[in-house]
Amino acid sequence: MLDNLRPALIITRREIRDQFRDWRIIIPIIVLTLVFPAIMNFTARQATEFVGRFGADIIGDRLIPFLLMVVGFFPISISLVIALESFVGEKERRSIEPLLSSPLTDWHLYIGKLLAVIFPPLAASYLGIGVYLFGVFRQIGWSPEPVLIVQILLLTFVQALVMVAGAVVISTQATSVRAANLLASFIIIPMAFLIQGESMVMFWAEYDALWPVVFGLAVLAAVLVRTGVSHFNREEMLGRELDSLNLKGTWRTFIEAFTAGARSVPGWYRQAAFPALKRLRTPVLLTGLVMAAAVWIGVGLAAQFPLPTGFLDVSNLEIETFSQLGNVSLLNAAGVPVIWLHNLRVVALALLLGVFSFSVAGLLVVMLPLVLLGYFAASFAGAGISPFLFATAFVVPHGIVELPALMLAGAAILYIGARIVAPSQGKSIGEVFVLGLAEWSQVIVGFVAPMLLGAAALEVFVTPWVVVRLLG
Amino acid sequence: MIQTKDLTKKFDHFLAVDRVNLEVNAGEVLALLGPNGAGKTTTVRMLTSVLTPTAGSATVAGHDVVAEAPRVRAAVGVLTENHGLYNRMPAAEYLDFFGQIYGIDPHERRKRIDTLLGHFGLERDRDRKIGEYSKGMRQKLSLARALLHRPPVLLLDEPTSAMDPESARLVRDAITELRTGERAIIICTHNLAEAEQLSDRIAIIRRGAVIANGSPSELKDRFLGPPEFEARMIGPPDGTRYVLPEGVSITATGENWIRFSSLLGERSNPATLHSLLDQGVQVAGLKEVTRSLEEVYLMVMRAANGKENGSAG
């Protein structure tokens, strides 16, 4: 392992040495390591004394751990800048070419640079945390629980890793530092939201909530590192000279992939849609598991947040009730397109969210109806109505078509994420995404949309009758 | 040492290199000559296993550029068009860094660095930051880096581009010294004089395809006809119609000179000279008329353009 890492460490040493020759990196690191924690110490003492005068000691108590997190985060924020400079800057200056012509593997280059980019800011961050802790202990005698220190150290590390790994993914798409800096907003904005969320946790003092954050970030970092390794290759580094947006070319690539050369609808199903469906076997299985988990979560939520007694009284249900529902016209043909378009919007939303989250948020959208299903099934059970009867009445008539369609839509989104993360020799992330989108479209147009249309018709005309017959 | 077979590279829908066939043996220098964007750099990048060919194959120092990429890269020394130097790094440290990457042991590394810096006249500047180096010094340092691991194959991309004449001369001299029996060299350039001076063979590349390939004299013979010789005489010609040996024809005459050519080239010169002397002509000197590679290059390019326009029309 160490032998395999040795060439990467040669790169790491050189880059770190180079960083320490650049005053633009040294000065902020020194300031954030020594000066900033001292300011935070001063702030903590002043704030504690101030709020103490009004008996609001709790604010001071919560502020000190919060500042601990802030002291840890600020130095690692530099890692994003260093990463963009290291990966894209070297590409832009072409100083990377001799390295690419050397026997180093892509992996050596990636890991060597990753370590070089993470190490100085992380060391500065940990040193800053040390300085801050020493200061607050000396000044007001505060020391955190050891577990909180571990949480903050881990949180700082995974945050740095997410930023740097994200910067590498961005670097593969940019040929200039300027373009990379603009794209970096895809990292900065989510990180800003994350820090706000973490701040709430720190003021809330529910430090156990930091564990899922650490875990989630670790998973995200792993996905980003995997994507970075897949797309950080020589071909990408030197194959593209310009950050040009070729809409015509992109459209042509999409259409070529979508039609797969077919000239008729049956031919398209044979050449494009069915092969796309076949590729979704594993994602369908995974989506099925996720959907099952969603039902289980819904059941759990029903116990936690029970509905008021009598809320689920269905004894007086009549068929007219369904025709009087506000927005959706059940038992009326006009309701079919409404439900169908609504479901298609959900599928589109899942795609949109999935694109920016390696499919994760997209799957959450797919999970949501299943959470509700589990919740109501459990709630009906609580109200003395068999959950199976509920499912047979409310879900099965149209769900028998709608749920498989939803499962396919979720699987198609998952597949796009998997394609982006997996290595794709000679193709940029953009190209991989366009091809993934074409495959997603094949599944949606070929199967999901027609199935949802059928499900909408069943929901409008069949489900209300079944509900009344079984429960009314 | 270097062999390519129908080597092709496509970027999306752009054909950068189109079925290039090359062979460079040990001890040979091949110049890839062509305008900017002709595909020279892309070819070199495929030969260093930096870019993967879209089609065709290539072997460098006996290794396949796709299947044995790390071995190819270890066997190749590359001088890239952009120097690729780290400005904040001292020169000796820079070479040491690459020495480590190529796995040269520390003692040997120091020895080679001293030798190379001395060879290129950079010994006194070894601890200066590269950012302070002149263009010529940078190019020499890049060349030293390319040679550090003693590669059997050297790929030099625009070795003297944008250099002042003195630095360019220094680099050219250095390249000349690198010619050994065990080493194959490819030089990418659009400097015709440099190509002629440094190379044994020239491949003219245009829009990714090799459109002419041969030694400088072969190319001249092929495109400009047999070599011409000029005999200078003492005193003006007396209007006599000179009789030259069979196969030798007069191509031009001047006040005190005649030019002639023969399919046999310079081998016909003794007989021609003899004939002129026999006719009482006092020959003061005999020299080959310079035929520039530039003429060949322009002719080849014009022919290719004409062919393309013709087929397009």
Confidence of residue A387 (pLDDT cuts 50, 70, 90): confident
What's the confidence (pLDDT) of residue A227? 83
The length of chain A in residues reads: 472
Give the SS3 label for residue A47.
Answer: helix
One domain, residues A189 and A299: no
Task: Give the class (CATH, top level) of B2-221.
Answer: alpha beta
Mean pLDDT is highest, among A47-61, A457-471, B48-62, B206-220, for: B48-62
- Determine, for residues B82 and A22 on separate chains, whether the beta-carbon distance falls below 8 Å: no
* Closest CB from B12, B50, B100 relative to A100: B50
- Determine, for residues A97 and B50 on separate chains, whether the beta-carbon distance falls below 8 Å: yes
One domain, residues A205 and A255: no
Task: Please give the ipTM for the structure prediction.
Answer: 0.79
Distance in angstroms (rounded) separating the CA atoms of residues A237 and A175: 8
- Determine, for residues A239 and B51 on separate chains, whether the beta-carbon distance falls below 8 Å: yes
- Determine, for residues B11 and A240 on separate chains, whether the beta-carbon distance falls below 8 Å: yes
CB A114 within 8 A of CB A165: yes
CB B296 within 8 A of CB B219: yes
Segments making up each domain of chain B, as ranges: 2-221, 228-288
Distance in angstroms (rounded) separating the CA atoms of residues A231 and B250: 66
**CA trace torsion B23, B25, B29, B33 (10° rounding):** 0
Instruction: For residue A93, give Cα distances in angstroms to A186, B51, B83, B157, B248.
Output: 24, 19, 9, 17, 57
DSSP A455: H
One domain, residues A219 and A313: no
Chains A–B, number of C-beta pairs less than 8 Å apart: 74
By C-alpha distance, the chain B residue nearest A425 is B52
> Of the candidates A239, A267, A284, which is a domain's last residue?
A239
Q: What is the mean pLDDT of residues B146-164?
A: 86
* Closest CB from A22, A103, A426 relative to B74: A103
One domain, residues A175 and A255: no
Q: What is the mean pLDDT of residues A413-424?
A: 80
By C-alpha distance, the chain A residue nearest B16 is A239
- Determine, for residues A104 and B101 on separate chains, whether the beta-carbon distance falls below 8 Å: yes
Taking the alpha carbons at both ends of chain A, their separation in whole angstroms is 68
Query: Which chain B positions have a beta carbon within 8 Å of A89's beta carbon?
Result: none
One domain, residues A130 and A190: yes
Give the SS3 label for residue A191.
Answer: helix
One domain, residues A172 and A291: no
Among A121, A101, A104, A120, which residue's Cα sits nearest to residue A112?
A104
One domain, residues A286 and A358: yes
Q: Which residues of A touch B (CB under 8 A)?
A: 7, 10, 14, 18, 21-22, 93-105, 234-235, 238-240, 246, 249, 425-426
User: Whole-number mean pLDDT of chain A?
Assistant: 85
pLDDT at B113 over 90: yes
Reported as a single tens digit per residue, the pLDDT across A85-114 is 888 888 787 788 888 888 888 888 889 988
One domain, residues A169 and A309: no
> Of the candidates A174, A205, A239, which is a domain's last residue?
A239
Distance in angstroms (rounded) separating the CA atoms of residues A361 and A353: 5
Confidence of residue B313 (pLDDT cuts 50, 70, 90): very low
Percent of chain A residues topping a pLDDT of 70: 92
Number of domains observed in the structure of chain A: 2
| Distance to chain A for B195, nearest Cα, Å | 23
Query: Which chain B positions have a beta carbon within 8 Å of A22's beta carbon?
Result: 88
Instruction: For residue A374, give Cα distances in angstroms to A300, A380, A408, A459.
Output: 8, 10, 20, 19
By C-alpha distance, the chain B residue nearest A18 is B88
> Of the candidates A212, A239, A266, which is a domain's last residue?
A239
- The pair of three-digit structure tokens given for residue A371, joined into one six-digit string: 């959470």
Query: Which chain B positions have a beta carbon within 8 Å of A249's beta carbon?
Result: 12-13
| Distance to chain A for B8, nearest Cα, Å | 14
One domain, residues A305 and A417: yes
What predicted TM-score, i.e. pTM, was given to this entire model? 0.74
| Distance to chain B for A359, nearest Cα, Å | 27
Q: Can you give the residue range of the structural domain that contains A202?
A: 2-239
* Closest CB from A22, A235, A246 relative to B88: A22
CB B260 within 8 A of CB B228: yes
Distance in angstroms (rounded) separating the CA atoms of residues A153 and B309: 68
